[in-house]
C-alpha cells in the first residue's frame, strides 16, 4: 500500500506487532553482544556515562538503573551541550561512555563520542544502524537489529534498545541473559491479551486534556517514554515524574481532572508505587495502572502484563503503552504515522 493510501496508524500498528520477532532475533545475537561486554569487563571502568536524545534518552535512563544496580557502577547522564556548545573536555580515562541512538546519525552525540574517545573513554555505540557515523566513531558497537522503522514514533527500535542494553550490561557481570530468554513469548502474550483492556483505556481517556505518567525504579524509564509517546501522537499534555518526585510537590496539581498512567510491575519499584497511588487517588485522579503488579495497587483501570524479572519488565510494560498512544491518537482523529508539526525522522536501515 502506498504512502498516499495507507490507513492512519498503519505503520505504527505493524511495527508494534513486530516486537516479539525483533526480540527473538536480538536474543539470537547474544554471543556478539557478549563479546563487547567482555571487552568492557576487561577494562574495568570506574564509572559510566550515558549520552542519548529523545526516546533513546529514556532507554539510557533504564541503562542507568541496570548499571547502578547490576554492576554497582556510579552513572551519569551526559549533557551533550557541555561538549558541543561549551567545548568542555573532561578527563574520561577509565570511563565507559555508552552512546545510545537509534539512527546513529545525531551530530551532537557523534561529537560527544569522538571527544570522549579522545579524552580516554571506552566508547560503545548502541544503534539500529550498524554502518552509522556513531558506530564508526565508537570503539565498539552494539546493533539492536530492529530493522527499518517507518513510523514516526519509535516503537520496536525503543524496546529493542532496552533489550540490547540489558543483554550487554548483564553480560558484563557474567550473566547469560537468562531473564530475557522468555521475552519473545511473553511479548506476544502481552500483545494477544491486553487488547480489550487497552481499548477500554482509550475510551476512558480519549477526552483527557492532561495526563501524568509515573513509575519507580526501572519503570521510571517507561513513564518517561509514555509521556513522550502520548504527547507526540495524541497531542496530550503529558508530564512524567518518578513516583518519589511526584509526591514532592507536583501531586498538589493532581485533581479529578487529571488522568494518571502508573507503571507498576512486580518488584521493589512496583511495591514502592503503592503509597504514591494512594496519595494520588485521594486527590481524585483517574488512575490507569499498567504492569504485572497492576492488580495489587489502587487504580480506576488496570492493564496487566505477564510476570517477569523486574530488571526486564520495561521491555514488556511499554507494549500496552505504545498501543494506548496509538489508540488515543486514532480515537482523537489524528494519524500517529503523520503527527502534525513533527519533523523527527528516525534514520534506520
The catalytic site residues sit at 344
Residue 80's SS3 state is: coil
CA distance linking residue 319 with residue 290, whole number of Å: 10
First-to-last C-alpha distance (Å) of the chain = 20
CA distances from 157 to 188, 322, 349 (A): 16, 12, 11
Per DSSP, 307 falls in state -
Residue 68 is placed in which grid cell?
Answer: 547502578
The H or E element that residue 212 is part of is strand 210-215
Residues near 307 by beta carbon (within 8 Å), at least 6 away in sequence: 266, 292
Residues near 85 by beta carbon (within 8 Å), at least 6 away in sequence: none
CA distances from 92 to 47, 136, 187 (A): 9, 19, 38
What is 100-161 written as a DSSP string?
A: EESSS--HHHHHHHHHHHHTT-EEEEEES-TTSHHHHHSSEEEE-------SSS-SHHHHHH
Residue 185 is placed in which grid cell?
Answer: 513469548
CA angle (203 as vertex; 271, 212 as ends), nearest 5: 40
Residue 151 is placed in which grid cell?
Answer: 513510523
Residue 336 is placed in which grid cell?
Answer: 500517529
Amino acid at each position: 500500500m502506498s504512502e498516499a493510501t495507507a490507513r492512519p496508524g498503519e505503520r505504527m500498528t505493524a511495527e508494534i506487532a513486530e516486537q516479539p520477532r525483533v526480540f527473538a532475533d536480538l536474543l539470537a545475537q547474544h554471543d556478539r553482544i557478549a563479546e563487547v561486554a567482555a571487552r568492557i569487563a576487561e577494562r574495568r571502568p570506574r564509572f559510566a556515562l550515558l549520552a542519548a536524545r529523545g526516546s533513546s534518552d529514556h532507554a539510557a535512563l533504564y541503562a542507568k538503573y541496570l548499571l547502578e544496580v547490576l554492576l554497582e557502577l556510579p552513572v551519569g547522564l551526559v549533557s551533550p551541550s557541555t561538549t558541543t556548545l561549551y567545548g568542555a573536555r573532561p578527563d574520561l580515562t577509565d570511563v565507559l561512555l555508552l552512546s545510545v541512538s537509534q539512527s546513529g546519525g545525531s551530530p551532537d552525540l557523534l561529537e560527544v563520542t569522538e571527544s570522549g574517545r579522545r579524552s580516554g573513554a571506552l566508547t560503545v555505540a548502541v544503534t539500529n544502524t550498524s554502518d552509522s557515523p556513531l558506530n564508526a566513531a565508537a570503539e565498539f558497537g552494539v546493533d539492536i537489529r530492529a530493522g527499518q522503522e517507518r513510523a514516526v514514533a519509535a516503537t520496536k527500535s525503543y524496546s529493542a534498545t532496552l533489550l540490547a542494553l540489558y543483554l550487554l550490561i548483564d553480560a558484563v557481570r557474567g550473566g547469560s541473559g537468562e531473564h530475557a530468554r522468555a521475552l519473545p513469548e511473553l511479548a506476544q502474550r502481552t500483545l494477544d491479551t491486553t487488547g480489550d483492556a487497552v481499548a477500554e483505556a482509550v475510551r476512558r481517556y480519549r477526552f483527557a486534556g492532561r495526563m501524568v505518567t509515573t513509575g519507580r525504579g526501572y519503570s521510571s524509564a517507561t513513564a518517561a517514554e509514555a509521556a513522550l509517546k502520548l504527547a507526540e501522537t495524541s497531542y496530550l499534555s503529558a508530564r512524567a515524574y518518578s513516583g518519589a518526585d511526584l509526591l514532592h510537590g507536583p501531586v498538589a496539581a493532581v485533581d479529578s481532572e487529571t488522568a494518571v498512567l502508573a507503571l507498576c510491575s512486580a518488584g521493589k519499584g512496583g511495591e514502592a508505587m503503592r503509597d504514591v497511588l494512594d496519595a494520588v487517588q485521594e486527590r481524585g485522579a483517574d488512575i490507569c495502572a499498567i504492569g504485572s503488579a497492576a492488580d495489587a495497587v489502587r487504580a480506576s483501570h488496570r492493564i496487566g502484563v505477564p510476570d517477569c524479572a523486574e530488571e526486564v519488565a520495561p521491555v514488556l510494560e511499554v507494549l500496552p503503552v505504545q498501543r494506548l498512544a496509538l489508540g488515543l491518537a486514532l480515537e482523537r482523529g489524528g494519524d500517529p504515522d503523520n503527527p502534525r508539526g513533527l519533523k523527527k525522522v528516525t534514520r534506520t536501515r
